[in-house]
Amino acid sequence: MKKSIYTIFVIAGLSSQAISQNKSITFEHTSFKEIKAKALKENKLIFIDAYTTWCGPCKQMAKNVFTNDTVADYYNKNFINAKIDMEKGEGIEIAKLYEVKCYPNLLFVDGKGNLVHRVAGSMSPSSFIELGQDSKNPEKCFSYFSKNYEANKTNSDFLSKYIYAKDGTCLEIGDLLKYYFALQTDEQLTSEENWKMIKSFTNSLESQEFQFLIKNKERYDNLYSAAEVDEKLKDIYRNVLYSVIAQKSFDEKKYNETKAKIFSYNTPDTKQIIFESDLNLAARTKNWTNYEKLAINYVDIYYSKDANMLNNISWNFYEQVTSKEGLVKAVEWSKTACAIETSYANLDTHAAVLFKLGDKESALSAANKAIELAKIDNLTAEDYQGTTDLIKKINELK
């Protein structure tokens, strides 16, 4: 009986909530110049939902947050609201003006167009209201930190808050981290707060804090855990190697020097990290001969239980590799991926490499199973069209 009464109250509460959520933030549909003029006239800040049409979290905010009654009441009362696509019309220049680097970007500007506050990312209705309230508190606004930065370069607490604030906007932290850690003593560098800073932001082999960490690894291992420290070191290595690879003009000498430096630190799993980086480099430079050689030599060592990596590499072999030896390995890897996780994507890849190897019967069986799973997972015919097309090719095999 108690369960029944509780269920009724829950359903009634949900129904009441659903009925009450019938408002929405009112967005202006005029030019940015006119929006600023209205903000000046009404002495209000402008809230800008800087979005794109392809941004999933943007759609989530529009559907679940902007339509919340409490949110709508607060923002309609306190702000002039603008919803602007950053890839169309005025939005393109606005994105440049305010350095919008990711989406959604939630901006607060005054009637003159001066940036007051900003964050990036989706959030709950309560957090979104708190964000609006922060925009009215000078010491909590992003502009407070940017305006007072030069006068506070030797203020460790200020720099820490600015680093976290800037990170929450998708803007580059730049020299902030260097200035912050320059103020820390050796004893302070091992504090919980500074370990948190290192884990969150350090990505340079040359930085002061990394050099201290690598020289005092045992101290960090004892204070936190060896596994946690090793994971952060591996994260740094991956980021450093990727930054070299991603340069427009690839510097092979610098890349090899970076690898040698990482090897010298003798951190667990270094060989795997170097392999992953070399494989990534081969794919980026379309050196598929080297990609095939690296994969055949090391995939079974490092990825024998990783269905995702086995699937991804097998697919690259399907698209780029022609040797029988390579395709036989891709069939083995994709079969293992299916054994670890029987999914539509894994079966589709397995079917594809079997087809390329010329095994008509096995390829057809795997492709049909892939479509069966796709239907079970409620994928549309359009979602598995590639497999349907593959079946036609398989049937044409002699």
Q: What is the pLDDT of residue 300?
A: 97
Same domain? For 290 and 246 the reply is: no
Question: Is the same domain home to 324 and 384?
Answer: yes
Structural domain includes residue 30 = yes
**What angle in degrees, to the nearest 10, is found between the helix axes of 288-302 and 270-284?**
150
CA atoms of 233 and 86, how far apart (whole Å): 36
- Which tokens belong to 357? 């190897």
Task: Supply the pLDDT for residue 12.
Answer: 38
Q: In the structure encoding, which two tokens stand for residue 216, read together?
A: 């005092």
Residue 15 is predicted with a pLDDT of 38
How much is the pLDDT for 375?
95
Q: Report in angstroms the alpha-carbon separations of 55 from 122, 232, 284, 377.
A: 11, 29, 26, 24
Residue corresponding to tokens 């610098």: 254
First to last CA, the chain: 68
45 and 128 both lie in a single domain = yes
pLDDT, residue 21, reads 63
Place of tokens 């306190």: 78
Q: How far apart are CA 71 and CA 49, in angstroms?
A: 14
Q: Are strands 27-28 and 79-85 parallel, antiparallel or unpaired?
A: parallel
Q: Give the end of a domain, one of 272, 298, 314.
A: 272
Location of structure tokens 């933030």: 25
What is the arrangement of strands in the sheet containing 79-85, beginning at the earlier edge strand? 27-28, 79-85, 45-51, 105-109, 115-120
Q: Measure Cα distances from 207 to 74, 97, 224, 240 in Å.
A: 44, 31, 21, 12
pLDDT along the chain (398 residues), means of 10: 34 40 90 98 98 95 96 98 97 97 97 97 97 95 95 95 95 93 96 97 95 96 97 97 94 97 93 97 97 98 97 98 97 98 97 97 97 95 95 93
Whether 172 maps to a domain, the answer reads no
Q: Which residues contact 136 (CB under 8 A, 6 or more apart)?
A: 45, 78
Q: Is the pTM for the entire model greater than 0.85?
A: no
In DSSP terms, 82 is beta-bridged to: 28, 48
Residues 29 and 143 in one domain: yes
**What is the sign, positive or negative, of the torsion defined by CA atoms of 226, 228, 230, 232?**
negative
Rounded to whole angstroms, how far apart are CA atoms 392 and 63? 41
The domain spanning residue 104 has which CATH number? 3.40.30.10
Confirm if 33 and 39 have CB atoms less than 8 A apart.
no
Residues 299 and 238 in one domain: no
CA atoms within 13 A on the CB side of 166: 21
User: Pick from 104, 122, 148: which residue ends a domain?
Assistant: 148
Residues 298, 374, single domain; the answer is yes
Number of domains in the chain: 3
Strand ranges (E), the chain = 27-28, 45-51, 79-85, 105-109, 115-120
List, in sequence order, every residue forming a beta bridge with 28; answer none if it has no partner.
82
Kindly state the greatest CA–CA separation across the chain.
77
91 with 142, same domain: the answer is yes
Nearby residues of 132 by Cβ (< 8 Å), 6 or more positions away: 47, 74, 75, 78, 79, 108
The number of CA neighbours under 13 Å toward the Cβ of 319 is 11
Structural domain of 95? 25-148
Q: Mark which of 247, 272, 297 sits at the end of a domain.
A: 272
SS3 81: strand
The answer as to whether 261 is a domain residue is yes
5 occurs within a structural domain: no
In 21-74, which ranges are E strands?
27-28, 45-51
- How many other C-beta atoms can be found within 10 angstroms of the C-beta atom of residue 375? 14
